[in-house]
Amino acid sequence: MRDLAEGLLDPIPVLDHGFVRLVDCMPRAVEEDGETADHAIARAARVSYQAGTRTSRSDRGLIRYLMRHWHTSPFEMVELKFHAKMPMFVARQWVRHRTASINEISARYSVLPEEVYRPEPGDIRPQSTTNRQGRGDEALDAECTERSLASMDRVAEGAFGAYRSMLEDNVARETARGVLPVNTYTEWYWKANLLNVMRFLQLRLDPHAQMEIRVYAEAMGSLVARLAPWTWEAFEEYWRHGQRFSAPEWAAIVAELDEDALKRIEGRLVDVQSPGELREFSVRLRAAKPE
Amino acid sequence: MRDLAEGLLDPIPVLDHGFVRLVDCMPRAVEEDGETADHAIARAARVSYQAGTRTSRSDRGLIRYLMRHWHTSPFEMVELKFHAKMPMFVARQWVRHRTASINEISARYSVLPEEVYRPEPGDIRPQSTTNRQGRGDEALDAECTERSLASMDRVAEGAFGAYRSMLEDNVARETARGVLPVNTYTEWYWKANLLNVMRFLQLRLDPHAQMEIRVYAEAMGSLVARLAPWTWEAFEEYWRHGQRFSAPEWAAIVAELDEDALKRIEGRLVDVQSPGELREFSVRLRAAKPE
Amino acid sequence: MRDLAEGLLDPIPVLDHGFVRLVDCMPRAVEEDGETADHAIARAARVSYQAGTRTSRSDRGLIRYLMRHWHTSPFEMVELKFHAKMPMFVARQWVRHRTASINEISARYSVLPEEVYRPEPGDIRPQSTTNRQGRGDEALDAECTERSLASMDRVAEGAFGAYRSMLEDNVARETARGVLPVNTYTEWYWKANLLNVMRFLQLRLDPHAQMEIRVYAEAMGSLVARLAPWTWEAFEEYWRHGQRFSAPEWAAIVAELDEDALKRIEGRLVDVQSPGELREFSVRLRAAKPE
Amino acid sequence: MRDLAEGLLDPIPVLDHGFVRLVDCMPRAVEEDGETADHAIARAARVSYQAGTRTSRSDRGLIRYLMRHWHTSPFEMVELKFHAKMPMFVARQWVRHRTASINEISARYSVLPEEVYRPEPGDIRPQSTTNRQGRGDEALDAECTERSLASMDRVAEGAFGAYRSMLEDNVARETARGVLPVNTYTEWYWKANLLNVMRFLQLRLDPHAQMEIRVYAEAMGSLVARLAPWTWEAFEEYWRHGQRFSAPEWAAIVAELDEDALKRIEGRLVDVQSPGELREFSVRLRAAKPE
Ligand SMILES: Cc1cc2nc3c(=O)[nH]c(=O)nc-3n(C[C@H](O)[C@H](O)[C@H](O)COP(=O)(O)OP(=O)(O)OC[C@H]3O[C@@H](n4cnc5c(N)ncnc54)[C@H](O)[C@@H]3O)c2cc1C
Ligand SMILES: Cc1cc2nc3c(=O)[nH]c(=O)nc-3n(C[C@H](O)[C@H](O)[C@H](O)COP(=O)(O)OP(=O)(O)OC[C@H]3O[C@@H](n4cnc5c(N)ncnc54)[C@H](O)[C@@H]3O)c2cc1C
Ligand SMILES: Cc1cc2nc3c(=O)[nH]c(=O)nc-3n(C[C@H](O)[C@H](O)[C@H](O)COP(=O)(O)OP(=O)(O)OC[C@H]3O[C@@H](n4cnc5c(N)ncnc54)[C@H](O)[C@@H]3O)c2cc1C
Ligand SMILES: Cc1cc2nc3c(=O)[nH]c(=O)nc-3n(C[C@H](O)[C@H](O)[C@H](O)COP(=O)(O)OP(=O)(O)OC[C@H]3O[C@@H](n4cnc5c(N)ncnc54)[C@H](O)[C@@H]3O)c2cc1C
């Protein structure tokens, strides 16, 4: 087992004042002699199967098998610890993922530095018309954008001015911080196992997630991709970019596909999938087929 | 809010000496004035959306929306408490679902009754040849079956004989119980929220789960279907009987479907899906379409 | 089992715009025929002990036994659901208790109402000199207090002015809300089992907790006291108002107590404790006694 | 950061066929340059306090402070992974600690080896008369002991004989294993953070825990003591060997102690406690003192 490659521990800048950096990983091995965190997953999975699978299946194949069958427990055997700095409104979304351990800076102990998130002009957008929770794809007109940024600056200045003056008056920090906008940066250590990191990424890499948390998820994903490359590959194929269809949807689709079409579909996968995966796929393809 | 329909609290027999019975449900309302646990889910979801959605979407539609978008937190707002009695090897699988609260009979305090699981002859089957962890579909020959049942009976008798004689010698119960076979019945109270009950059911209703735990999952599913009928319907359509395809698989499938086929597929769903669901489906259908 | 007493579901006002109200309780029984949530705890505990304890110990005695021996699992068998409205900085502390289910109002979907926490003048206090994380007991001079309140009002007005004007410019709500101060109110459904409610109360009723979350904990405690009176009594005696001493501390204390003193101490408890509790206490009293 | 000291990864034999061994630890540092897992705890705690505490308090002092104030989150920043082999009845107790990740050998995939726990003769004891759940301190008479061991051997032999013959008849492994006694060994990977490892140890090092799980807890404790020596020291002083008194108990005790006695008690701790800890202790000592 070797130490982490140097670059892996460098902070990745996110938004205007934020970052994510890897603090530690269990196991602390990567990219040397082909040893990555993937091997710790495979090793744990093999406790279940004992000798049986030791020779028959490569670690990569095993990881793909675990991922597509939702045998999630071996992915819990890898643990990641991050240090991150982000606006409070991002922290408020992030903290909702409860299967993690957190140590956050305390605004009762500490005076928070004057760092407030200010969106890039292009990120100020109109309320989305199709997706009630997000913003649209189009730009806002330049005037509105400018007015918004000016408003934000004014609020931030006013709030930090009030904060500083209350602290000068010796008002308790826990009271004074009440004026700070949720755009203010906070920071924390955040530690979770790889399964729950992937659950987090699945939800927060999604286009429905707010852009400002998505960029943190992307930075974290880029680290996972290096620490556990086979797991990441499988995550992308099966979870992130996979497609789910309800029973009636799949019935409606499969009605278009005769046996010849199904054969052609399988043919396209022969070079991509292992024989075992292909066998399972064939069964699933035909499962909803009306007799 | 009304009380639970009487029949809901009756024990459902499972295997030869086991059962599952509903002890309590939050909310304690069902099937009266159309009030079921589904409404508690919708009400919690509406805390997030406030007035916005109150009129525009029926509770059933909202639940289907939550289910297919993995907005899982409102399903945690319903809580179920079961009393169950099952063989220890089933309990050993069941207990692995950690997001539940348990009170189990203690074999340190109590003398366990002489109740041992004895499979139906038809359930004694050969090791599966395709699925390394389960049993095959064919029967075992009658002689082997009989020999197995006789073995099981002999072991059970011998073990309980030894147990009783050690207890007569005043050996501590915690030591004496060491001889009992994992076919011995145990019992517990088991309480979890509806989300985690569904996660449990998803894994334990699956054909890969051992038959002896699947029958408990089926009994619990039949209760959920009455307590929260819309949630159950959506669970079956999206989670249980839905189909998942990896990115390469879906690319291989969609290559068979020209725009006319996609239109016909949509046409089949017009009467089944709400306009919103259909719109989302159309996007997903075409998402992986090469330009 | 009867329904909840009416008054139990009324909102309890907390701070200037906030409240806590009980939405539901499992079991839905209270104060009738002596049936409270306490009985659901005892019933679950008795699954472990079976017939053995049924007659020998009253439910109250059993609950006290469970509480002082940290047999915590039966307390998980009671579930509480609250609706609460509180400043965001309070929500940020509260959400850190991960063993709960939450549905919070979304500032991406909804426009937040202009409700901002404004402390009572007497609650504006200097930074504590002994406790680095809190505020002191003394008042701040009147001028500073007034200046602080004026600052807070100004920030709130400025922030909500900016918020409104951005919304008028059709800026996405998720972006506009970035200017709101953490004193702004949010609301949620919050559901947890009684064990974790007590863990929450233990930490947040403590004088080290910030006053603004303590008042929510007090309101919730008053509800628990009615729903599960014996559990509450035991919680107060053993957990909340109990004393913990480290090994060296207790050794230093017990060195002052000769056997006569220990006897007198026991004598004071004869009318308060059950014989079993007293027996255990006697053992603990003498455990650290040097031979 | 250095690698783990060699000896730390050696299996520790427990019971007749079992063991515990450390598989991995986050951080992977120990006993070199004074760097142990303790430092990862202190570093995480300092995220909360920022510069404020950096110089003022040693890491050891900080850890003691966290431990006695139940600031538990920094202890979650250390993660431990163990490989253990133990009788199934021990695994059934162990698995109840839900805040861990597990990969266990599957008796559906694998044929279990013929390894059955056989107590040492001296560990076969009568049912306890004072503690309804355990065994007494006295020995059982030699004849009963021998009879018990002979029974156990007979059951084990009979069960494994039946198991083997069913497997020869090609009965599915998941069915055949039903005859195995709960004394049969199983094994798993078990991973948890240090807080939850300590919660586990607190409950399972206790004299009320069954001896056969206590010996595993002791082996794990010996590893924690090397990996995080200051945390272990504080765990022992405050949690494990600390004393808890209910409010009425402490009132009864303190009634024996006049101000002179309290002063003498404090005097005994002057060389043991830091000034801060002593100050807190003095407050607690007098808190319950009637005015
Ligand atoms: C006075 C005070 C000051 C505080 N100051 C700070 C501060 O400066 N910085 C800061 O970051 N926090 C601070 N906190 C928050 C504190 O660190 C805890 O997050 C909070 O009190 C919740 O406690 P908990 O973890 O015991 O509760 P819960 O999250 O409800 O957990 C209860 C128990 O469940 C188990 N558990 C729950 N979730 C998990 C999981 N994902 N993995 C493993 N085990 C789990 C653990 O055994 C845990 O102890 C402070 C809290 C208080 C009361
Ligand atoms: C001497 C002894 C005797 C026992 N006898 C019995 C018995 O007769 N019958 C029996 O059934 N059990 C018995 N137990 C087991 C006991 O009830 C607990 O299950 C076990 O000790 C694990 O403790 P825990 O729940 O604190 O641990 P964990 O499961 O690790 O939980 C730690 C903390 O995390 C939080 N948490 C974890 N998971 C959840 C969740 N899903 N939901 C909410 N909060 C969660 C809780 O705050 C919990 O206290 C006994 C235990 C001991 C030590
Ligand atoms: C796009 C988007 C929009 C959202 N909008 C809203 C909103 O409007 N309002 C709102 O309140 N939230 C909202 N959320 C947050 C969402 O409800 C979840 O809280 C968040 O996504 C965390 O997901 P989780 O619960 O799966 O993660 P985790 O908390 O990490 O949980 C993972 C799994 O662990 C189990 N688990 C963890 N903790 C517990 C526990 N205490 N008890 C039982 N099981 C547990 C469950 O099976 C859970 O699914 C939104 C999230 C997204 C991605
Ligand atoms: C067919 C089948 C075969 C199996 N074979 C084996 C086997 O050979 N060996 C084996 O060991 N197991 C086996 N299992 C058990 C499996 O590994 C899981 O333990 C079990 O299915 C419970 O699933 P879960 O973890 O999703 O459930 P839960 O424990 O209920 O967890 C739900 C989710 O909550 C979160 N969560 C809960 N607790 C924690 C925690 N402590 N820390 C972090 N996140 C948490 C996670 O996101 C988790 O996915 C098998 C299961 C099935 C269905």
B227 and B258 fall within a common domain: no
> Tens digit of pLDDT per residue, chain D (291 long)?
456 677 899 999 999 999 999 999 999 866 666 678 999 999 999 998 775 544 556 899 999 999 999 999 999 999 999 999 999 999 999 999 999 999 999 999 999 999 999 999 999 999 988 777 789 888 899 999 999 999 999 999 999 999 999 999 999 999 999 999 999 999 999 999 999 999 999 999 999 999 999 999 999 999 999 999 999 999 999 999 999 999 999 999 999 999 999 999 999 999 999 998 999 999 999 887 655
Q: What is the pLDDT of residue A90?
A: 98
* Cα→Cα distances B24→B73, B214, C48, Å: 21, 22, 18
Q: Tell me the mean pLDDT in the region A174-188.
A: 98
Q: What is the pLDDT of residue D6?
A: 73
Closest partner CB to A249 (pick from B269, B287, B288):
B269
C124 and C196 fall within a common domain: no
pTM of the predicted model over 0.95? yes
Distance between CA atoms of C15 and C119, rounded to whole angstroms? 8
Specify the residue with its C-alpha closest to ligand 3, atom 5. Answer: C106
- State the complex-level ipTM: 0.96
D90 and D210 fall within a common domain: yes
C55, pLDDT greater than 70: no
Specify the residue with its C-alpha closest to ligand 3, atom 49. Answer: B72
Domain end marker among C182, C199, C216: C182
Q: What is the pLDDT of residue D51?
A: 57
Pair A195, C197: CB distance under 8 Å: no
C79, pLDDT greater than 90: yes
pLDDT tens track for A127-138 = 988 777 789 888
- Residue B77 identity: M
Across chain C, what does the average pLDDT equal?
Answer: 92
Active-site annotation holder among A177, A204, A264, A286: A204
Which helix (H) or strand (E) is B41 found in, with range? helix B37-49
Q: What is the pLDDT of residue A287?
A: 80
Q: What is the pLDDT of residue A31?
A: 62
Total domain count, chain A = 3
Note if B199 is an active site residue: no
Domain end marker among B167, B182, B197: B182
Q: C191 CA to chain A: closest CA distance, Å?
A: 14
D22 and D89 fall within a common domain: yes
Residues in chain D with CB shorter than 8 Å from the CB of C69 are 208
Pair D41, D228: CB distance under 8 Å: yes
pLDDT tens track for A63-79 = 999 999 999 999 999 99
Q: What is the pLDDT of residue D251?
A: 94
Q: Is C135 helix (H, G, I), strand (E, B) or coil?
A: strand
Distance between CA atoms of B174 and B243, rounded to whole angstroms? 47
Distance between CA atoms of D51 and A144, rounded to whole angstroms? 40
Q: What is the pLDDT of residue A193?
A: 98
- Phi first, then psi: what are they for D119, rounded to 5°? -60, 155
Pair B188, B229: CB distance under 8 Å: no
Q: What is the pLDDT of residue A211?
A: 97
Distance between CA atoms of A43 and A54, rounded to whole angstroms? 9
Q: What is the pLDDT of residue B1?
A: 43
Instruction: Collect all residues with Cβ–Cβ distance below 8 Å to C281 and sequence separation of at least 6.
Output: C266, C269, C273, D249
Q: D65 CA to chain A: closest CA distance, Å?
A: 15
Domain hosting D276: range is 247-287
pLDDT tens track for A7-22 = 899 999 999 999 999 9
Report chain B's terminal Cα–Cα distance, integer Å: 54
C156 and C34 fall within a common domain: no
Pair D227, D36: CB distance under 8 Å: yes
Q: What is the pLDDT of residue C31?
A: 62
Q: What is the pLDDT of residue D245?
A: 94
CATH code, B43: 3.30.1360.170
- Phi first, then psi: what are they for D186, rounded to 5°? -130, 175
By residue count, chain C amounts to: 291
Residues in chain D with CB shorter than 8 Å from the CB of B127 are 170-173
Pair B234, B68: CB distance under 8 Å: yes
Beta-bridge partner residues of B81: B24, B191
By residue count, chain B amounts to: 291
A147 and A255 fall within a common domain: no
Cβ-defined contact of D134 to B172 (cutoff 8 Å)? yes
Q: Which two tokens stand for residue A123?
A: 């990120």
- Which of C96, C132, C214 most suits a substitution to test ligand 1, by most atoms within 8 Å of the C-beta? C96
D266 and D150 fall within a common domain: no
C48, pLDDT greater than 50: yes
Active-site annotation holder among C57, C204, C214, C226: C204
Instruction: Collect all residues with Cβ–Cβ distance below 8 Å to D175 and sequence separation of at least 6.
Output: B119, B123, B124, B125, B135, B148, D166
B40 and B94 fall within a common domain: yes
Q: What is the pLDDT of residue B5?
A: 73
Interior CA angle at D288 toward D283 and D289, to 5°?
90
C32, pLDDT greater than 90: no
Q: Tell me the mean pLDDT in the region C197-207.
A: 97
Q: Tell me the mean pLDDT in the region A143-153.
A: 96
Q: Is D201 helix (H, G, I), strand (E, B) or coil?
A: helix
Active-site annotation holder among D64, D177, D204, D214: D204
Domain end marker among D182, D201, D222: D182
C128 and C160 fall within a common domain: yes
D103 and D35 fall within a common domain: yes
B27 and B150 fall within a common domain: no
B92 and B13 fall within a common domain: yes
Pair C14, C216: CB distance under 8 Å: yes
Closest partner CB to B126 (pick from D95, D132, D171):
D171
Q: Which two tokens stand for residue C196?
A: 């974790």
> Tens digit of pLDDT per residue, chain B (291 long)?
456 677 899 999 999 999 999 999 999 866 666 678 999 999 999 998 775 544 556 899 999 999 999 999 999 999 999 999 999 999 999 999 999 999 999 999 999 999 999 999 999 999 988 777 789 888 899 999 999 999 999 999 999 999 999 999 999 999 999 999 999 999 999 999 999 999 999 999 999 999 999 999 999 999 999 999 999 999 999 999 999 999 999 999 999 999 999 999 999 999 999 998 999 999 989 887 655
- Which of A72, A194, A202 most suits a substitution to test ligand 4, by most atoms within 8 Å of the C-beta? A72
Cα Rg for chain B, rounded, in angstroms? 24
Distance between CA atoms of B79 and C81, rounded to whole angstroms? 10
By residue count, chain A amounts to: 291
The DSSP string of A225-260 is HHHSHHHHHHIIIIIIS-EEE-HHHHHHHHTT--HH
